[in-house]
Structure 1
Amino acid sequence: MCFSQEISSGINLTGKERVWEKQNFLSSEIIEDIKILIDNDYESVRLPVAFNHYLENEKCFLSELRKIIDYTESNGITLVLAYFGHDLDDKNAKKKTKEISKNWLKVLSAIGSGTNHVYLEIVNEPNISPQVWESIAPKIISKVRKVDFDIPIILGATNYNSLFELSRTRPFVYNKLIYTFHYYEPYIFTHQGTEWTGAQNSTIGIPYPYQENEMPKLSKKARGTEGEINLRDYQYTGNKIAINDKISQIAEWAKINQVELWCTEFGVTDNAEEESRIAYLKEVKEVLNTYNIKGFVWEWDGNFGVRGLLF
């Protein structure tokens, strides 16, 4: 069953997931950003939030969140609240499941009833074993459903919302569930030069789509890493055919299981050349649209920021 009546342009409004920056959660600032997104023709906003951090450290967090919800509701903007900063792993799964569930109930108290455009992405990129995730996800969903039977819930698979992991799972028996995956393939292009991903992605100047005469030499730092193999194979992965091949697989899974499917993150670092970034984002968006998959670009501002890009 499809809850979104038509495909609309979505984007991640980031910043409130980065707790190390110790930002205050101010509705006025976030609403001003949303106004800018609306002016740039975005109709759907995913708001990554470190819920546990703000619930513990800011007394006015829920009231500020409610102001944002009131604004997006009144303007017909889809708002995805995505749970970041959960620190979930196999060892602490039982404890964190209770914490995440408890926090969602607090958030639901602020959301209230009667919303038409709010969606809950219960855990961002769960990086735990599939067996553990498939045992705890229903517990979180059940807690939410006891309070709100109708609010749409979004969930992905393990290994950072991998579409391959998702294709190996069986959908849960709950109403109004939307399944999500994140798409950053080929990683050697989308994450080129990003320090946090290590030496394997240290080669920069990689074009999209693949162009033999424009390919850079392998970075010395990447020698002997997976980056060496990935650069060698880029002629096969750096094109729209490869993108379609991967996304079509998870689209077929959704079709077979009769579930709605979104891509709540796709993007490319600003270390890549602008022309290549635009070409990549445009073609991923086109493929998603082909399969009626709602997509959210990562991100408006930041090191993957698309502010000023037209695609």
Structure 2
Amino acid sequence: MERSWDSPRFKSAELTREIKNIQKKGYTHIRLPVALSYHLQSNPRFLSELESLIRFTEKERLQIILCNFDSELNRNNWQSHSSVIKSNWLSVLKKISFDTKYLAIELVNEPLVNPDTWENILMELLPEIREVKPDIPIIIGATNYNSLYELSRMRPLTGFGNIIYTFHFYEPFIFTHQGTPWTGNQNSTRGIPYPFEEGKIPSLNPKAKGTSGEINLRDYYQTGNMLAIEDKISQISEWAKQNQVSIWCTEYGVSKNADPASRKRYLEDVSATLHKYDIPGFIWEWEGNFGIKSLIHHSKSTKGNK
């Protein structure tokens, strides 16, 4: 529901059916990305449909994160767009007027403003949200695309209660985003396996020559393994412990451009590492460029052939 360029229609019945399919796989926590501005503007029934969906997830005791995806927030428009973000969330939360035990909200996906500006925006948003929903869990990430490194430099907010901090994990980027056109020539090299294995690394795509992708591929022998993954995640875990805050990883995943065996191994390694540090993790995504729906089916069919 975040791809506003595909003109999606938010229909609770269709979403409920798909969520039931996900439940059958054993998942108990779901992050639902929603282009709030788009749906609020294009669909007069959006709030009613959303209310129906949340009533279903509450009945099923299914933890759901509602994440705001089309904020269009940047350093040039933050004053006007922060007001839009606030208005959208207040509209949503006033509609969901009943008590919720399994709903959390993620204010903005991957904010792209400087850290001081982001703190100013949060200090404007949080008091009004707390007036409407005093206890709802609020998920907050750092700037630079919910960067783990920016989060480690962030000062936790005080006085608002039930705040969960989040980061997104796509390391090593040269592997997880290989062949993705929206990340540019740096990731044009495809066929990169995980974990790193001598003799199986492809040649650099000529388009990546002179980009950070050239350096990242050169260093992949150091970054393409579970030890490197744990090194990064352990650091943010230590930050959370020192600051006595809750932390979730609301996105980790790998493009379908990687081979299925490498994708599965990577997701297992990140999942195991997050579990080791007691950090709840959400795979990006069920369907789409990073979708695991087909990966699950592939794994089952492979097992059936053995």
Same fold (TM over 0.5): yes
Displacement of 1:288 in angstroms is: 0.4
Deviations along 1:107-128, one digit per CA (max 9) or x if unpaired, are 0012113110000100110011
User: Is 1:68 matched up with 2:53?
Assistant: yes
Match 1:132 to one of 98, 111, 117: 117
| Structure number with higher helix proportion | 2
Secondary structure of the residue aligned to 1:236 is helix
Deviations along 1:220-245, one digit per CA (max 9) or x if unpaired, are 11111111100000000000000000
Structure 2 counterpart of 1:7: none
Mark the runs of 5 or more structure 2 residues left unpaired by the alignment: 300-306
Secondary structure of the residue aligned to 2:31 is strand
Match 1:101 to one of 71, 86, 93: 86
Secondary structure of the residue aligned to 2:203 is coil
What is the TM-score of this pair, normalised by structure 1? 0.94
User: Is 1:186 matched up with 2:193?
Assistant: no
Secondary structure of the residue aligned to 1:54 is helix
Alignment of 1:105-254 (within 5 A): 105-173=90-158, 174-254=160-240
Displacement of 1:73 in angstroms is: 0.4
Give the paired residue count: 296
CA–CA distance in structure 2, aligned partners of residues 131 and 113 of structure 1: 34
Deviations along 1:83-130, one digit per CA (max 9) or x if unpaired, are 011110112111111111111111001211311000010011001111
Mark the runs of 5 or more structure 1 residues left unpaired by the alignment: 1-15
Structure 1 counterpart of 2:287: 301
Structure 2 counterpart of 1:4: none
Secondary structure of the residue aligned to 1:261 is strand
User: Is 1:275 matched up with 2:264?
Assistant: no
Deviations along 1:161-204, one digit per CA (max 9) or x if unpaired, are 00100000110012000000000000000000111111110111
Structure 2 counterpart of 1:287: 273
Secondary structure of the residue aligned to 1:213 is coil
CA–CA distance in structure 1, aligned partners of residues 137 and 95 of structure 2: 16
Deviations along 1:137-181, one digit per CA (max 9) or x if unpaired, are 121111100111100000000000001000001100120000000
Query: Which runs of structure 1 show a deviation greater than 2 angstroms over 4 or more consecutive aligned residues?
Result: 308-311
Displacement of 1:18 in angstroms is: 0.5
Q: Compute the RMSD of aligned alpha carbons.
A: 0.9
Secondary structure of the residue aligned to 2:27 is coil
